[in-house]
Structure 1
Amino acid sequence: MSTATTFSEDRVATTQCTRCVLTDEDIPDFQVDEAGVCSTCIGFAERWGRHLKTRESREAKLEEAIRMVKEAGRDSRYDCVIGISGGVDSTYLAWKINQLGLRPIAVHFDNGWNSELAVQNIQSLTSKLKIDLMTFVVDWPEFRDLQRAYFRASVVDIEVPTDHGIYGTLFQTAVRHNVRYVLGGNNIATEGFMPNGWHYQKCDHINLLDIHRKFGTQPLKTYPLFDCRMKKSVAKRGVELLEILDLIEYSREEAVSVISGELNWRDYGVKHGESTFTKFYQGFVLPRKFGIDKRKAHLSTLIGTGELTREGALEILAKPVYSPSELRVEREYVLKKLGFTDAEFDTIMATPPRPHRDYETEGSLFYEHRWLLPARPIWEKTRDLLGLRRRPRPNHFEIR
């Protein structure tokens, strides 16, 4: 078997994929073939190959999608809803649909962690494209309590409170304005490479509520929960999510060039740098507590699509996300904003990770049979004693 070998800090030999930048330190069930290519790479290559073969059909689907959006919204002020974060994908999506003649209402979920540059990029985008912007400013005490709960729950996807809130806000806006289509910026070209266990279903409100029930202290009165009532309302009104970027020839390099030139968009230096929290979460919390460097997934995607060489990706990974002085400042800021002392945060970081399925999920016993709720405390105690675990049911709104 031909594999590349590197050494970690404690000089333990590590098997590394010869195509992407993943190693057996990144994934517990890491496997490579005879050529040293990992199973995650192989899976992505198959999906990317199928994606490339559907070019003509995607063009036809795009034309049909634009026709449907315009037709459904011909008598309304807006014909679609889009999310705006200030990042590359959402900014390019806004520019693209503007070119296609759509009339969106842009939604921004302000969770209190926007970088100053993100605010500037959003203002520049909406001003130049003359797009109406609706900003949902989250109730900070509520949202901080929810984020603190996710830290204490010790689950890997601490971004769920933000991502769930974004989807809740998008679909609530669509229902409120009687808009049929929500246009999303998720895409295989820049986000299609994600190892199992590195994230969780963003719209599982049962998991979110159970984590908050166990570790939160404040009621969620204004948080835009994407719950059963909202999901039923979305289904009843026929609101659909269309991932437009998967229907075009999408390249991150070209997208950056376009939005920089057309919209005066300025780069953050790292993916998702528009959020101070996301940068700290991906640049410090994930690597230190969970052994996950999410840059490897993002860079491996670009390797798989041919936008970046493996050598180029390794050069990027060799550079730390933070300098020691910058990390000290960022850590102090994040902990103070979240209300954690150094000792509390150190304890959280030292607590062993727990899978999301340790908590209630959509499809679990008490979600399907609400009349059993009074017996939940007894069941939870018995489950923990016996070491039983639940399997989550696939979510219809799962995000890659």
Structure 2
Amino acid sequence: MRICTKCVMPDTKPDLHFDEFGVCDACRSQEAKNQKIDWDKREKEFLDIVHVNKKNADYDCVIGVSGGKDSTFQVLKVKELGLNPLCICFEPTIPTEIGRKNLENLNNLGVDLIHVKRNPIVYKKLAREAIKRTGDCEWQNHLGIFTVVPHFAVKFNIPLIIWGESPQIEYGGPASSKTRNILDRQWLEEFGGLLGNRISDMIGVEGITERDLSLYMYPKDEDIHRVGVTGLFLGYYFKWDLREVLKKSHANGFSTTIRPVETTYENFENLDCYSNHVHDYLKYVKYGFGRATDNACLDIRLGYISREEGVRLVNKYDGIPPRLAIKEYLDYTGFTRAEFDLIVDSFTNKRIFQRDANGKFIKDIDGSLVRKEEYLVR
């Protein structure tokens, strides 16, 4: 396994590319952000697009929000630019108290907020089936976020959707994706985390009908074109720095925990939903990196920590099963721990983690998988 020579991201990350110097394209993207991009020009481009799309008398744009640091920052930024957003929250899988508090704080920044309480029976059926098929406990939530927001844009005749950071610019991806600033049906199908499973594939699961899934289906092309819906990444037009985002959100009422959240060394990640921590752990067993690696890489690229510190943090925090989150997830889904472990093991990477003579994965006393020597982070 190759690890980027600048950050600590391994080449097991899907769509990540390394150059001849062993540097990942996410690090090269950060260099471009620092040295090559004319951010004043990008801001003017953004404002020009906003001006063209101001066709709704009530709202200038739609923002999908969770109440997290990013969506809080998005709201603050567009309000600073003089825009009046309509905010849409697609209910998290297993909401937390601090998540509810932060969503209320976002609402109190002075915006209209629609909280979509999805059908819990259909949603739970999707959640139980999706993890078996894809190894992702948040498949149905990610899909819902990216479909519900454009549905409301169509219903309210609001052409402009404002998303947050550009994932391909911040975390790496094909070169063509970094110049593509629009989130549409194509982006959802290519980069939206569907993992080869379409919502239409879920019709018939435990009696689910097509009508039950209408909220999870992207709006029809004719409706998108009629309203002129365009989804833009704010991070394409304004230089994104997670520490600055956190600082601004904190200053405007965003709350964090006292201790680090499970799966990483930070206290501000995925605060709204327990299931997100299970999602991060599943990413670790598949690819050998988790949320701590994501955070360390961003901090290294932005100059907040050294690579050596990043290596120490990754080796300390990545890979320990999030016990509280798993308990909440089992209570929610009804899976037994044995059933859950069987599903997780079926997606665990046999190249990265050690197994015994019977083919069972070797685990330490804390439940963490044991990596093969050649797959250790150094």
Q: TM-score, normalised by structure 1?
A: 0.70
Q: Which of 294, 297, 310 is equivalent to 1:300?
A: 297
Change (3 A) 1:286 1:222: same
Letter in 2 for 1:250: W
Q: Give the conservation status (yes or no) of the 8 Å contact 2:26–2:170.
A: no
CA distance in 2, matches of 1:90, 1:109: 13
CA distance in 2, matches of 1:33, 1:175: 42
Q: Give the conservation status (yes or no) of the 8 Å contact 2:277–2:325.
A: no
**1:163-312 pair list within 5 angstroms:** 163-187=142-166, 191-193=170-172, 201-202=191-192, 207-213=197-203, 216-219=206-209, 221-223=211-213, 225=215, 227=217, 229-266=219-256, 269-282=267-280, 284-288=281-285, 291-312=288-309
Q: Give the conservation status (yes or no) of the 8 Å contact 1:152–1:215.
A: no
Task: Note the C-alpha offset of 1:321.
Answer: 6.4
**1:127-166 pair list within 5 angstroms:** 127=108, 129-153=109-133, 155-166=134-145
CA distance in 2, matches of 1:206, 1:192: 20
Q: Give the conservation status (yes or no) of the 8 Å contact 1:156–1:290.
A: no
**1:328-367 pair list within 5 angstroms:** 328-352=323-347
Choose 299-308 or 141-150, whichever is displaced more: 299-308
Letter in 2 for 1:241: G
Change (3 A) 1:29 1:243: closer
State how many pairs are aligned.
Answer: 328
Deviations 1:344-366 (A, max 9, x none): 22221232479xxxxxxxxxxxx
User: Counterpart of 1:344 in 2: which secondary structure?
Assistant: helix
User: Counterpart of 1:319 in 2: which secondary structure?
Assistant: helix
Letter in 1 for 2:123: F
| Aligned residues: CA RMSD | 3.5
Q: Which of 74, 90, 102 is equivalent to 1:93?
A: 74
Deviations 1:187-224 (A, max 9, x none): 359832369xxx96328698323542475543354445
- Find out whether 1:22 has 2:9 as its counterpart: yes
CA distance in 2, matches of 1:75, 1:29: 38
Task: Note the C-alpha offset of 1:185.
Answer: 0.4
Determine the structure 2 residue equivalent to 1:48.
Answer: 30
Consecutive unaligned residues of structure 2, counting only runs of 5 or more, are 175-188, 262-266, 350-378
Determine the structure 2 residue equivalent to 1:381.
Answer: none
Change (3 A) 1:81 1:309: same
Determine the structure 1 residue equivalent to 2:357.
Answer: none
User: Counterpart of 1:351 in 2: which secondary structure?
Assistant: helix
User: Counterpart of 2:252 in 1: which secondary structure?
Assistant: helix
Letter in 2 for 1:254: E
- Find out whether 1:109 has 2:90 as its counterpart: yes
Deviations 1:229-250 (A, max 9, x none): 5343113321101112221132
CA distance in 1, matches of 2:325, 2:167: 31
Q: How high is the sequence identity, in percent, across the aligned residues?
A: 22
Q: Give the conservation status (yes or no) of the 8 Å contact 1:79–1:102.
A: yes
CA distance in 2, matches of 1:162, 1:221: 18
Q: Give the conservation status (yes or no) of the 8 Å contact 1:164–1:225.
A: no
Determine the structure 2 residue equivalent to 1:391.
Answer: none
Q: Give the conservation status (yes or no) of the 8 Å contact 2:88–2:113.
A: yes
CA distance in 2, matches of 1:75, 1:211: 36
- Find out whether 1:82 has 2:63 as its counterpart: yes
CA distance in 2, matches of 1:47, 1:28: 16
CA distance in 2, matches of 1:302, 1:223: 39
Task: Note the C-alpha offset of 1:108.
Answer: 0.4
Task: Note the C-alpha offset of 1:171.
Answer: 0.4
Task: Note the C-alpha offset of 1:179.
Answer: 0.4
Task: Note the C-alpha offset of 1:306.
Answer: 2.7
Task: Note the C-alpha offset of 1:166.
Answer: 0.8
CA distance in 2, matches of 1:264, 1:298: 19
Q: TM-score, normalised by structure 2?
A: 0.74
Instruction: From the CA coordinates, give the structure whose radius of gyration is larger.
Output: 1
Letter in 1 for 2:345: A
CA distance in 1, matches of 2:226, 2:311: 48
- Find out whether 1:314 has 2:311 as its counterpart: yes
User: Counterpart of 1:340 in 2: which secondary structure?
Assistant: coil
Letter in 1 for 2:28: E
Letter in 2 for 1:249: K
CA distance in 2, matches of 1:31, 1:70: 36
